[in-house]
Amino acid sequence: MQAKAEKACLGCHNASIILQQQLNEKVWTKEIDKMIRWGAPVAPEDRQAMIDYFAEYFEPRDPAAMAAKLPPGPGKEKVVEACFDCHDYHNITAQHLDEAGWERILEKMEDMGAYIYDDEREDIIQYLAKSFPPQPKPSQDPK
């Protein structure tokens, strides 16, 4: 199944996108079905075996352990709920954006199939912008 998965996925994606996902079987099913609709070369008789393969080898990490690594603050739980089904905390903590940048990230994730509740959006953006703001650029002083 590994060879079939490589053929089906690596024509459009690099391996890191798969490695970062860490989804449960339910979400892998949705992702694989979406990729098949978008043209991934998966034979109908291989569909379930591929889902099983990804669910076994790229299963979820422990969300509670990942959540413990995020800074405390209002909105943290909403970030965990909205993001950790697909991503680990590294995907979040590596970003350093202002509110507009985090809004664009949420919109991008929604375009890719994530669901962000309207009444939670602002709390998520505020938490992320406060916890992971833009980093200052190095000084251009030529000393």
Where is pLDDT greater, at 43 or 16?
A: 43
CATH superfamily of 2-57: Cytochrome c-like domain (1.10.760.10)
Specify the DSSP class assigned to residue 132. S
pTM: 0.58
pLDDT of residue 142: 58
Beta-carbon contacts of 87 under 8 Å, excluding residues fewer than 6 positions away, are 20, 21, 22
More confident call, 86 vs 81: 81
Mean pLDDT of 30-55: 95
Domain 63-131 = CATH 1.10.760 = yes
Give the whole-angstrom CA distance, residue 93 versus residue 137.
17
63-131 shares the fold of 2-57: yes
| Contacts of residue 141, Cβ cutoff 8 Å, sequence gap at least 6 | none
Instruction: Give the mean pLDDT of 23-49.
Output: 94
Whether 77 shows a pLDDT value over 80: the answer reads: yes
In the chain, domain spans: 2-57, 63-131
CA distance 127 to 87: 17
Dist CA 95 CA 35 (whole Å):
26
Confidence of residue 90 (pLDDT cuts 50, 70, 90): confident
At residue 143, the pLDDT reads 57
Q: What is the mean pLDDT of residues 89-108?
A: 92
For residue 69, pLDDT over 70 is answered with yes
Q: What's the chain's average pLDDT?
A: 88
- 71: tokens are 């800074």
pLDDT band at 98 (very low <50, low <70, confident <90, very high): very high
Instruction: Answer for the pair 89, 66: CB distance below 8 angstroms, yes or no.
Output: yes
